[in-house]
Amino acid sequence: MSSSKTNIFITGATGYIGGSVFQRLIQHPIAANFNITALIRSPEKAKFVRENFPMNVVEGSNADLDKLTDLSERADIILNIADSDDLAAANAIMQGLKQRHEKTRVKPTLIHTSGTGFLVDDARGMFATDKIYHGSKPEEIENGIPDNALHRNVDLAVIDADRKGWLRGLIISPPTIFGIGSGPLYDSGLVNKHSLQIPLLIKISLARGRGAGVVGEGKSIWNHVHIDDVANSYIVLLDAVLKNLMRSHMQGRRQGGPGKAFVQLGLAKSAKLVPFTEPEAELQKYIGSLFMGYLALGSNARGWAEQIHALGWKPKYTTTDLFVNIKPEVQAHVPAKKPLIRRVALKFQQIFH
């Protein structure tokens, strides 16, 4: 590899978020100055990327810790978008960056993907919170978030490494993401086009067959952001690194969107929200985890991303776009059967256990 180029290593390049970031990365105005390497688990996906995109492809997964360390040691910048809760993989990546720093005395950069799940409460859809965390006030998170919060163990490891001075640790924490992934990578049919929370609600509602569901009174609030705006935020942050150196909705309103779509598509007679009358039984039945059901569909998680805005990030999509997006999401999941729900549930269970 030419030393004049910036070596970028990306994990999760064929995932929902990572795919959008990856497509922007290879279309970057100075992409010719990048040596991009992607670790891809599926041989089929690896073959497609290798044949269609100008980058280095290594087959492997987060379980290949030695491979993660080796690839990380070669990187100037890492975009870790594969799994926000895999501490072993994160440590392997950071070990590689530490070795790079020891050899070159140059501080590499880790852009790590977390999520706003660490902000959640136990509202169960019954109340909204006025508490908003601010990206420009790290002390709010440091002093107000317990170490055992969701995603927090990996975030703290990144923060610790940054403080020790052998890498620059930057954490992106997207809230509820909406929008269907688009572009050549998604058009291949090999990459997941859908997020988790909104499709999860749709799948549960379809499986239950009683119209659009809602947890509690639907009063809890999460921020939301379109997948394209999320991907752009990574590029804004990357550009800031190369120069050396997320909007808000009420869950009940969001969950009213599927109700209208259900009526328009002939899946329900009324757009009225239908509460989970026996949430303990229903969430357990359709998701496999009562805790995850309340967390994903009934909690509050509010924050303002002032720091990425200050770097020039200007999200294009609004709350109106969120509701416009719900109908195509419902259409995409009408054929969904329970195994699809279980796959989503399995992801959450892996996080919690």
State the DSSP string of 137-160.
Answer: -HHHHHHHS-TTSTTHHHHHHHHH
3-state secondary structure of 77: strand
CATH fold of the domain at 178-225+248-352: UDP-galactose 4-epimerase; domain 1 (3.90.25)
Cβ(172)–Cβ(234) under 8 Å?
yes
Cβ(175)–Cβ(254) under 8 Å?
no
The confidence score (pLDDT) of residue 38 equals: 97
**Residue 244 token pair:** 């050396």
CA of 72: how far to CAs of 8, 36, 199, 231, 232, in Å? Answer: 9, 12, 33, 21, 23
Q: How far apart are CA 347 and CA 353, in angstroms?
A: 10
The confidence score (pLDDT) of residue 338 equals: 47
- CA-CA-CA-CA torsion for 46, 48, 50, 52, nearest 10 degrees? -160
Q: Give me the tens of pLDDT residue by residue for the chain, a chain 353 residues long.
A: 445 899 999 999 999 999 999 999 999 999 999 999 999 999 999 999 999 999 999 999 999 999 999 999 999 999 999 999 999 999 999 999 999 999 999 999 999 999 989 999 999 989 999 999 988 888 888 888 999 999 999 999 999 999 999 999 999 999 999 999 999 999 999 999 999 888 888 888 888 888 888 888 889 998 999 999 999 999 999 999 998 743 444 555 555 567 777 777 777 778 777 777 666 677 777 776 666 677 777 888 888 788 888 888 888 888 888 888 788 888 888 865 444 445 544 554 444 44
The confidence score (pLDDT) of residue 245 equals: 43
3-state secondary structure of 323: helix
Chain center to CA of 268: 31
Q: How far apart are CA 146 and CA 234, in angstroms?
A: 26
The amino acid occupying position 241 is V
Characterise 73 by phi-psi region: left (phi > 0), alpha (psi -120 to 50), beta (else): alpha
Helix, strand, coil abundance in the chain, percent, nearest 5 = 50, 15, 35
Chain center to CA of 52: 25
Instruction: Give the relative orientation of helices 87-104 and 152-164 as an angle to the nearest 10 degrees.
Output: 10
Q: How far apart are CA 26 and CA 129, in angstroms?
A: 40
Q: Return the closest-CA partner of residue 110 out of 234, 284, 227, 219.
A: 234
Q: How far apart are CA 126 and CA 121, in angstroms?
A: 11
3-state secondary structure of 8: strand
List the domain boundaries for the chain: 6-176+227-242, 178-225+248-352
What is the DSSP code (8-state) at residue 169? Answer: E
Q: Return the closest-CA partner of residue 195 out of 229, 168, 144.
A: 229
Choose which CATH entry (3.65.10.10, 3.30.56.10, 3.30.43.10, 3.40.50.720) describes domain 6-176+227-242. 3.40.50.720
Cβ(116)–Cβ(173) under 8 Å?
yes
The confidence score (pLDDT) of residue 252 equals: 57
3-state secondary structure of 260: helix
Q: Return the closest-CA partner of residue 189 out of 52, 45, 51.
A: 45
